[in-house]
Amino acid sequence: MISNCTRLLFMGCLLIFIHQDSLGQGKKRDHDKNFHSKETVEKYRYKSVHQVKKINLPGIENRKAKNIILMIGDGMGTSQIHAGMIANKGELYLGQFPYAGFITTHSANELITDSAAGATAFATGEKTDNGMLGVNPDNEPLQTIMEIAEYKGLGTGLVVTSTVTHATPAAFAAHQFSRHYYEQIASDLIRNDIDVFIGGGRSHFTDRLDRLNLLEILKERNYTVVDTVIDLEAAHGDKIAGLLYYDNPPSILDGRGDMLLKATKKSIETLGRNDNGFMMMIESSQIDWGNHQNNILYQTEEMLDFDIIIGHVLEFAAMDGETLVIVTSDHETGGLAISGGNLKKGIVHGDYTTNGHTGVMVPVFAYGPSADLFTGIFDNTEIYDKMIEAFDWNGSKP
C-alpha cells in the first residue's frame, strides 16, 4: 500500500509538471488575444460540415432500455454546440432529440470539475475529487455501470477520440487515485473485460514500467487487436481492442477523418450481437482540447464531427426501438461566447474567458425508452441514476 503521505507528495509533483489545463483549472486570458484573427475565421471552410437529414423518430412506449449509448462531448456547453450549429448553417442532428435538460457538474471538492470526477459521476452516481477515477474521495472503489453491465452479461464498449486510458473512458472501467496512472488504467480495462474499446494510447499497453505487453494478454483473452482504422473495419469477433494510435488520435484539423464514425459503427455492430443488450460510451474527447486552446476552428470541427456520429446513433436507435441515446457533457471548457458570425455563410466568431473549465450547467439530450427522465435541471450523478432506472436495475444490482 502507498501511504497517503506518499500520494500527496506524488500529486504535488504532478501538479508542478502537468499543465494546469488537464486538471481543469485555468487562468483568465486577455480578451484581445483571440487565437484566430477575424480574417482567418471568415476564410475558413469547415471540413465536417454535413447535411442533416430528418430522421423519423418513432414514439417509444416501452420504459425499459435493452441498450444504452451514452455520448459525451467533453467540454461541450451550449456555446460549443451553437458554434457547430452556426458553422453547419443552422442545423444539427442534436436538434432532433425530443427531450432535453441541463445538468450541474461540480465535483466533491471543487465547483469546477475536471473530466475524471465528471465521468466518475456518470459512471457511478457518486461525486469524487478532481483527478480521481471510479473511486470516492477516500480512494475506495465505486462500482461502475459498465461493471454492472458486464456482471449481467451485457456487451460493453468505450469509443473515444483520445487515448482509451484518458480520464473520461477510464472512469467507466478503472479505479485509480489519479487519472495519470495510465498503465494501471490500461490493466483495469482488461481486468474489467470491456468487450470493445477503440481510441488511441497503444503506448500504455506496450511500453510499460512493468515490461508487460498487454497486447499479448488481450490476444490470449480472445480480443481482436487492431492498430489501424482499415483493420478495425475488417475486424470480426466479439471482443475488439482498437488501439489505433500510439498516443492521442489527431484532431480533425490534423487529419483524423471519419475514425470516430467507423469506430462507432464497428462497436454497434459488434455489441449489437449480444442478446442481453449493451452499454456503450462514445466520447468526442477533443472538443475540450480545442476550447482549452481557445481555438474556435478546432473546437467547431470536433463539434461537427460529433454531430455526424450523433446522427448515425440516432438513426440506429430509431430503427432499433430498444436503445436509449443520451448526449451530454462533463463540463464547459473555455467560457466560450458566440460573439458574432454569419448563419447563412456558416461563419462563427468566438470569445473565450479562460483556458480552463467553467462551472456552468451543461445540456443533456435523450431519445428512446425512458428518455423523458432526462428533462429539467438535475445533477450529473443523476445521469447514472436515470440510466439504472432505464435498464430497470434498481434493486437488482450485484
Task: Name the site residues for Mg ion (rule: CB under 5 A).
Answer: 74, 115, 168, 285
The CB-of-259 to Mg ion minimum distance in angstroms stands at 16
Residue whose Cβ sits closest to Mg ion: 168
- List the single partner that 168 binds among Mg ion, Zn ion, none, CB under 5 to 8 Å by kind: Mg ion
Q: Which part of the chain contacts Zn ion (CB under 5 A), choosing from 99-107, 173-181, 183-191, 288-296? A: 288-296
- List the single partner that 285 binds among Zn ion, Mg ion, none, CB under 5 to 8 Å by kind: Mg ion
Any idea how long the chain is?
398
Radius of gyration of the chain (CA): 20
- List the single partner that 332 binds among Mg ion, Zn ion, none, CB under 5 to 8 Å by kind: none
By CB under 5 A, residue 283 contacts Zn ion? no
Q: Which part of the chain contacts Zn ion (CB under 5 A), choosing from 143-151, 229-237, 286-294, 304-312? A: 286-294
A 10 A CB-CB count for 113 gives 28
By CB under 5 A, residue 288 contacts Zn ion? yes
Q: What is the spatial distance between Cα 220 and Cα 144, in angstroms, rounded to a whole number? A: 25
In three-state secondary structure terms, 189 is helix
Interacting positions 249-268 with Zn ion (CB under 5 A): none
Task: Give whichever of 96 and 285 is closer to Mg ion, judged by the CB atom.
Answer: 285
Task: Give whichever of 267 and 285 is closer to Mg ion, judged by the CB atom.
Answer: 285
Q: Which helix (H) or strand (E) holds 337?
A: strand 337-342
Q: What is the spatial distance between Cα 229 and Cα 215, in angstroms, rounded to a whole number? A: 17
The CB-of-228 to Zn ion minimum distance in angstroms stands at 28
Q: Which helix (H) or strand (E) holds 159?
A: strand 155-163
By CB under 5 A, residue 330 contacts Zn ion? no
Interacting positions 117-156 with Zn ion (CB under 5 A): none
Task: Give whichever of 48 and 115 is closer to Mg ion, judged by the CB atom.
Answer: 115
Which string of DSSP letters, residue by residue, matches 201-220?
-THHHHS-TT---HHHHHHH
Are 149 and 187 in contact by the 8 Å Cβ rule? The answer is no
Instruction: Identify the residue whose cell numbers are 489519479.
Output: 178
The CB-of-115 to Mg ion minimum distance in angstroms stands at 4
Show Cβ contacts of residue 10 under 8 Å, excluding neighbours closer than 6 positions.
2, 178
Binding site for Zn ion (CB under 5 A): 288
